[in-house]
Amino acid sequence: MTTFLISGGRGLIGKTLSKTLKMQGHKVYKLTRRPKRKSHIYWDPEKQSIESKHLNEIEVIINLAGANIGEKKWSEKRKLELINSRVNSIHFLRKSAANMPKLQYFISASGINCYGYNKHHEMTESDEFGDDFLSKLVKEWEKASNTFKEICPVGILRIAMVVDKKGGALNKIMKSVKFGLGSPLGNGQQYVPWVHIRDLCRMFVHCIDQKKEGIYNAANGYLSNKEFMRTISKKMKKPFFFPAVPRSILSLALGEMSTMLTESLKVSNDKIRKTGFTFKHESFDSAMADIVNNDN
Ligand SMILES: NC(=O)c1ccc[n+]([C@@H]2O[C@H](COP(=O)([O-])OP(=O)(O)OC[C@H]3O[C@@H](n4cnc5c(N)ncnc54)[C@H](OP(=O)(O)O)[C@@H]3O)[C@@H](O)[C@H]2O)c1
């Protein structure tokens, strides 16, 4: 049995990941600004405040904390919030690790949208960062995570769009498809990398078990936005409409954030496969069938 601390553990990924770990017999504490249970540990990275209970038991930290990227338009103020809620909270966690004598491993979420867009090849972990906002954010986020290298091995997962009906982007898309509004975004040709929530949790477990160091793209694959929307509509037995939602409308509604939906990104998952990891869902069709037909 291993004792875990998951920062941001009450969020979308943290909920399924902690369930997975508990089912394997591990002890999981969630680090949260809004504690509600005995297994929750209070912290407020902005105020540099953390409850000391249980910290001396922690063997592995999983870092998932950060203000939600898709929740609000990216004003300059919001951009700072997105950066600080990730970077400063990791620095505070690193300081707090002085009270974690048993710490053996640190693994952090990162984002797949870090390579820039519209390149023609599949991006690998050794490709350069892009120069858009998300690329700069990821660079700072990963730099902060790597400060843990002073005390333990560090793993980083560059996570693609999480396919889970309980929240995140897919949940919002499924709601609009339910109301008959399934249509491609922009010209629909742009590639969308995706990861099934349970494959992502299995990937965390795989890296933790082997104490994998370094950066891994966390994506089952990618497909065009048109195919993505068509598959969701088909699996939900809902209509798939044309014409597409124009880029200009998305840009007006979402501002710079619309780039996440309209720009194209292909990523390679060879690096994680070469460590022996296998995906349960090789196609988006299989992932969506699972999402629509299963409740958890
Ligand atoms: N879901 C995706 O598709 C996806 C894709 C790529 C990368 N990621 C990254 O993976 C991580 C986890 O994703 P998720 O979907 O589980 O996110 P989520 O549901 O938004 O949860 C993130 C958690 O971070 C904490 N948080 C929010 N603002 C914070 C702040 N200002 N300071 C400290 N903590 C804060 C919150 O916990 P409390 O309110 O309990 O403190 C929240 O539950 C995030 O960093 C996200 O950017 C997610």
Single-letter amino acid code for the residue at 185: L
Average pLDDT (189-194) is 96
Q: How confident is the model at residue 119 (pLDDT cuts 50, 70, 90)?
A: confident
Identify which of 160, 280, 292, 287 has the alpha carbon closest to the alpha carbon of residue 237. 292
Lowest mean pLDDT among 23-27, 163-167, 207-211, 256-260: 256-260
For residue 114, is pLDDT > 90?
Answer: yes
Higher pLDDT among residues 178 and 43, named by residue = 43
| Residues with Cβ within 8 Å of residue 17, at least 6 apart in sequence | 6, 9, 62, 64, 200, 201, 204
Domain count for the chain: 1
pLDDT over 70, % of the chain: 99
pLDDT over 90, % of the chain: 85
Q: How confident is the model at residue 296 (pLDDT cuts 50, 70, 90)?
A: low
* Whether residue 13 has its Cβ less than 6 Å from ligand 1: yes
Pocket mutation for ligand 1, best pick of 5, 12, 49 (most atoms within 8 Å of C-beta):
12
Q: How confident is the model at residue 128 (pLDDT cuts 50, 70, 90)?
A: very high
Average pLDDT (66-93) is 96
Spatial distance between the Cα atoms of 85 and 79, rounded to a whole number of angstroms: 10
Higher pLDDT among residues 296 and 277, named by residue = 277
For residue 295, is pLDDT > 90?
Answer: no
Tokens 């949790």, residue?
201
Q: How far is the CA of 285 from the centre of ligand 1 (A)?
A: 27
Lowest mean pLDDT among 131-140, 164-173, 255-264, 272-281: 255-264
Q: Between the CA of residue 288 and those of 163, 197, 210, what are the distances in Å?
A: 8, 11, 29
Please work out, in degrees rounded to the nearest 5, the angle formed at the alpha carbon of residue 169 by the alpha carbons of 293 and 146: 115
| Domain CATH for 86 | 3.40.50.720
* Whether residue 168 has its Cβ less than 6 Å from ligand 1: yes
Spatial distance between the Cα atoms of 30 and 61, rounded to a whole number of angstroms: 10
- β-strand partners of 110: 158
Backbone angles phi, psi at 279, to 5 degrees: -90, 140
CB 186 within 8 A of CB 245: yes
Spatial distance between the Cα atoms of 42 and 178, rounded to a whole number of angstroms: 38
For residue 85, is pLDDT > 80?
Answer: yes
Backbone angles phi, psi at 35, to 5 degrees: -70, 140
Q: What's residue 242's pLDDT?
A: 63
| Residues with Cβ within 8 Å of residue 166, at least 6 apart in sequence | 12, 15
Q: How confident is the model at residue 191 (pLDDT cuts 50, 70, 90)?
A: very high
Protein residue closest via CA to atom 43 of ligand 1: 11
Q: What's residue 78's pLDDT?
A: 97
Q: What's residue 229's pLDDT?
A: 93
Average pLDDT (139-151) is 98
For residue 142, is pLDDT > 90?
Answer: yes
- Averaged pLDDT score across all residues of the chain: 95
Q: What's residue 82's pLDDT?
A: 98
Protein residue closest via CA to atom 32 of ligand 1: 85
Query: Domain range for residue 107?
Result: 3-293
pLDDT tens sequence across 217-274: 999 999 999 999 999 999 999 988 767 888 888 787 788 888 888 999 999 999 999 9
Q: How far is the CA of 120 from the centre of ligand 1 (A)?
A: 30
